[in-house]
């Protein structure tokens, strides 16, 4: 036990004293915040660019009323200028594009004969907007042909706004569901990235010690199993320290932003505010959308999500790190690891895809539940499900299976580790790994 403790301390100190570890620990939250602000700024700038579109209406059905200007799209009627002259102006770069509406007695044929010319490929949102305008106008014209009063149809349209409650009377909003999807997706993806980063860190550490031959001295006084377990736990503790520092930095940034935007964090955490009350307060006080988003985020089970993130990070990390350590012990350099990396990475990638494909659409469906139990995928899929509410027995099943599988995987990987750590000069194959697992010496 004393030797294992020394190995853990050695790995932990070596990790936290690394310059890149120190720099990224303090800069990562700031970089993420800066990247988010930059993306938001660029999106705003991109949305502010005004595009002028001209249209030539040979059908005589459309008017300026059908092509109303928006914040980013301005329309001009060039019907009198003609088709060829309009194309030349757009080709010179005077306008973004030209919409050509031909003359045709059949509205169905006309709808599929409209053309759009531009020098640059238009975004899908622009084309969808133009198609919606044309479809709306042609549908109204068709209704007039049928003798149907358009005003009555418009008056008959009633907007439905379904309010969502659980059986304890707590109201849910569409915004909170969107945030749950976002939080679940982000935590699942981050967990995959952290497992890969820290797992490969263990693998590189094993390869470095093996290639420097220092491992031959170490294994003379400590068992290979203890060495492997010490490396895994040492790197895990360094990772938890990094998470703890990130949590403090994010808490400080959140507190500052909350104060800056006038959000009472304590009051929001202690009071249950319905979506309708928030909307009413927004209209009365003029609260902006960012404040509303912050309020909805703070209604999420943040503490529960954080604690489960720590558990599943440790469980997933230790599970996969044992395999990464075994791969590192089996090879002489990082290049040779590629043939063994794919089987390890596939479950992680599968978990992300399954999470995005099933959890978002139905977090309590049979596929989502099944993959949140399977230990190789549960760290990611279960974290994606947690914001939507998971029953306690589901968490118990998932956690128990993860712990049991981790213990088995460490024992399994140790069989490869103890033989591979002293093997040099030969590129191992899967057949060699199978022999090492069966070795009983």
Does residue 177 form part of some domain?
yes
Structure tokens at 139: 């549908």
What's the total number of domains in the chain?
A: 2
- pLDDT in the model for residue 287: 46
**Torsion angles phi and psi, residue 55, rounded to 5:** -135, 145
- pLDDT in the model for residue 273: 42
Structure tokens at 33: 């915040």
pLDDT (tens, 9 = 90+) of the chain, 441 residues, equals 677 888 888 888 888 888 878 888 888 778 877 887 787 777 777 666 788 899 999 888 888 888 888 888 889 999 888 888 888 888 887 788 899 998 887 888 888 889 999 887 787 888 888 999 999 889 888 888 888 888 888 788 887 777 767 666 655 556 666 777 777 778 788 888 888 888 888 888 778 777 777 766 776 777 777 777 888 888 888 888 887 888 788 778 777 766 765 544 444 443 444 444 444 444 434 444 555 556 666 666 777 878 888 888 888 888 888 888 888 888 877 777 877 888 888 888 898 888 888 887 788 888 999 999 999 999 889 988 888 888 889 999 999 999 999 888 888 888 887 777 777 777 777 788 888 777 765
Does residue 244 form part of some domain?
no
- pLDDT in the model for residue 269: 41
**125 contact partners, CB below 8 Å, separation of at least 6:** none
Residue 202 sits in the same domain as residue 98: no
Residue 326 sits in the same domain as residue 229: yes
- pLDDT in the model for residue 295: 61
**Torsion angles phi and psi, residue 118, rounded to 5:** -160, 155
Owning domain of residue 144: 48-151
Cα–Cα distances (Å) from 154 to 140, 149, 151, 419, in that order, read 11, 9, 5, 77
- pLDDT in the model for residue 397: 94
Residue 186 sits in the same domain as residue 313: yes
Residue 85 sits in the same domain as residue 184: no
Residue 359 sits in the same domain as residue 323: yes
Residue 305 sits in the same domain as residue 427: yes
CB 91 within 8 A of CB 119: yes
Residue 222 sits in the same domain as residue 327: yes
Does residue 282 form part of some domain?
no
Does residue 90 form part of some domain?
yes
Does residue 39 form part of some domain?
no
For residue 121, give the DSSP letter: P
Residue 123 sits in the same domain as residue 180: no
Structure tokens at 249: 């930095």
Which of 101, 116, 151 is the last residue in one of the domains? 151
Residue 210 sits in the same domain as residue 338: yes
Does residue 194 form part of some domain?
yes
148-160 core/surface letters (b: 16 or more CB in 10 A; e: else): eeeeeeeeeeeee
Residue 216 sits in the same domain as residue 345: yes
CA 320, 355, 347: angle at the middle one, nearest 5?
A: 30
CB neighbourhood size of 376 (10 A): 20
Q: 152-160 long-range contacts, Cβ below 8 Å, gap at least 24?
A: none
What's the CATH code of the domain at 119?
3.40.190.10
Residue 216 sits in the same domain as residue 129: no
CB 101 within 8 A of CB 59: yes
CB 117 within 8 A of CB 97: yes
- pLDDT in the model for residue 21: 80
Strand partners, 115: 100
Report how far residue 74's alpha carbon sits from residue 80's, in angstroms, rounded to the nearest whole number. 18
Residue 75 sits in the same domain as residue 187: no
**Torsion angles phi and psi, residue 171, rounded to 5:** -90, 140
- pLDDT in the model for residue 278: 45
Which of 151, 181, 216 is the last residue in one of the domains? 151
Does residue 114 form part of some domain?
yes
Does residue 310 form part of some domain?
yes
DSSP-assigned letters across all residues of 163-214: -EE-TTS-EE-HHHHHHHHHHHHHHHHHHHHHHHHHHHHHHHHHHHHHHTTH
CB neighbourhood size of 372 (10 A): 29
**363 contact partners, CB below 8 Å, separation of at least 6:** 184, 384, 385, 388
CB 379 within 8 A of CB 189: no
Report how far residue 150's alpha carbon sits from residue 153's, in angstroms, rounded to the nearest whole number. 5
CB neighbourhood size of 5 (10 A): 12
């Amino acid at each position: 036990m004393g030797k294992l403790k020394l190995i853990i301390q050695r790995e932990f100190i070596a990790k936290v004293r690394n310059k890149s570890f120190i720099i990224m620990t303090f800069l990562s939250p700031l970089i993420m915040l800066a990247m988010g602000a930059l993306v938001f700024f660029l999106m705003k700038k991109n949305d502010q660019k005004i595009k002028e579109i001209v249209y030539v209406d040979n059908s005589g059905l459309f008017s300026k009323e059908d092509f109303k200007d928006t914040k980013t799209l301005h329309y001009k009627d060039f019907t009198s200028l003609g088709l060829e002259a309009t194309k030349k102006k757009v080709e010179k770069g005077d306008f973004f594009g030209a919409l050509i509406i031909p003359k045709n007695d059949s509205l169905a044929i006309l709808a599929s004969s409209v053309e759009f010319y531009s020098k640059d490929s238009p975004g899908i949102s622009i084309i969808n907007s133009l198609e919606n305008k044309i479809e709306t106008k042609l549908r109204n014209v068709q209704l007039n042909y049928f003798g149907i009063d358009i005003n009555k149809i418009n008056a008959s349209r009633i907007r439905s706004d379904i309010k969502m409650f659980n059986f304890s009377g707590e109201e849910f909003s569409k915004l909170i569901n969107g945030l749950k999807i976002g939080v679940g997706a982000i935590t699942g993806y981050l967990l995959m990235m952290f497992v890969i980063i820290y797992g490969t860190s263990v693998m590189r550490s094993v390869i470095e010690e093996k290639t420097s031959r220092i491992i031959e001295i170490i294994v003379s006084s400590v068992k290979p199993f203890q060495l492997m377990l010490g490396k895994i736990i040492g790197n895990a503790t360094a990772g938890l320290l990094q998470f703890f520092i990130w949590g403090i930095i994010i808490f400080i940034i959140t507190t500052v932003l909350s104060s800056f935007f006038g959000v009472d964090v304590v009051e929001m955490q202690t009071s249950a505010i319905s979506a309708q009350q928030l909307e009413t307060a927004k209209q009365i006080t003029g609260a902006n959308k960012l404040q509303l988003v912050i309020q909805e985020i703070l209604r999420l089970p943040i503490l529960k999500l954080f604690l489960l993130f720590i558990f599943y990070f440790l469980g997933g990390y230790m599970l996969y790190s044992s395999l990464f350590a075994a791969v590192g012990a089996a090879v002489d350099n990082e290049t040779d690891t590629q043939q063994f990396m794919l089987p390890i990475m596939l479950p992680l990638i599968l978990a992300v895809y399954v999470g995005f494909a099933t959890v978002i659409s139905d977090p309590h469906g049979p596929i989502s539940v099944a993959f949140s139990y399977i230990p190789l995928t549960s760290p990611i899929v279960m974290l994606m499900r947690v914001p939507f509410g998971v029953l306690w027995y589901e968490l118990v099943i998932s956690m128990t299976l993860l712990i049991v599988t981790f213990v088995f995987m460490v024992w399994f990987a140790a069989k490869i580790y103890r033989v591979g750590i002293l093997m040099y000069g030969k590129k191992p194959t899967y057949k060699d790994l199978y022999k090492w697992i069966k070795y009983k010496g």
